[in-house]
A and B are shown apart, each in its own frame.
Chain A
């Protein structure tokens, strides 16, 4: 069974450029989460969706960050414009529903120069 799929696995970009991270959740899962991992802050929740609807985006750091989930099998996290402090590993996770176990993708390592 395919797990959560994220692309790209690595992204290197220059400051000011737009970055789009992609996620395909596990088929049948109704909740999707975007996390960011940094040395300073650890693993922090940015936003989560339930049935394609954003439920809590309080973790999104600034207006430069936006996330969409146009359908049950696809989500994007966009950073525009990107800054060096956005460099981190971004994880997508999905769960069957509610408080069920979250399954994480392999992550996207973003480096902003």
Chain B
């Protein structure tokens, strides 16, 4: 059973527009939520996170929204840039060091 679902395998957007990446989780006990970005032939790198006591966290062009009642989080990138093209992983954490990752979503930003 997948505890973290990224239902869309890919997304393509134009440079300058908004990218919205979605993630659903199943366990309401998770209390920390993260997004990682991965370029080809590299390991994932931490991008942004949010704790369960918040519903929004912003860092420059990146904003993460958390809807606890819907067990849903999303990552907004505004404006999108070609360098944002990568695979994005949603991850959740609850009560231990363990991260549970989604399968990832490939974002392509076209110039």
Contact = CB atoms under 8 A, between A and B. Distances in A.
A31 B46 CA distance: 16
Interface stretch (A11-19, A40-48, A63-71, A76-84): A40-48
Interface residues of B, number: 19
Nearest to A39: B103
A104 B43 contact: yes
Interface residues of A, number: 25
Contacts of B96: 56, 99
A107 B43 CA distance: 6
Interface in B67-111: 89, 93, 96-104
A4 interface: yes
Interface string A34-64: 0100000111110010100001100000000
B43 A43 contact: no
Contact of A106 (B32, B43, B99): B43
A44 B98 CA distance: 10
A42 B98 contact: no
Given A105-B43, A106-B41, A43 B97 contact: no
Interface of B: 32, 36, 41-46, 89, 93, 96-104
Interface of A: 4, 31, 33, 35, 41-45, 48, 50, 55-56, 91, 93, 95, 98-99, 101-107
24 contacts: A31-B97, A33-B97, A41-B103, A42-B102, A42-B104, A43-B89, A43-B101, A44-B101, A48-B98, A55-B97, A56-B96, A56-B98, A91-B43, A93-B43, A99-B93, A99-B96, A99-B97, A102-B46, A104-B43, A104-B44, A105-B43, A106-B41, A106-B43, A107-B41
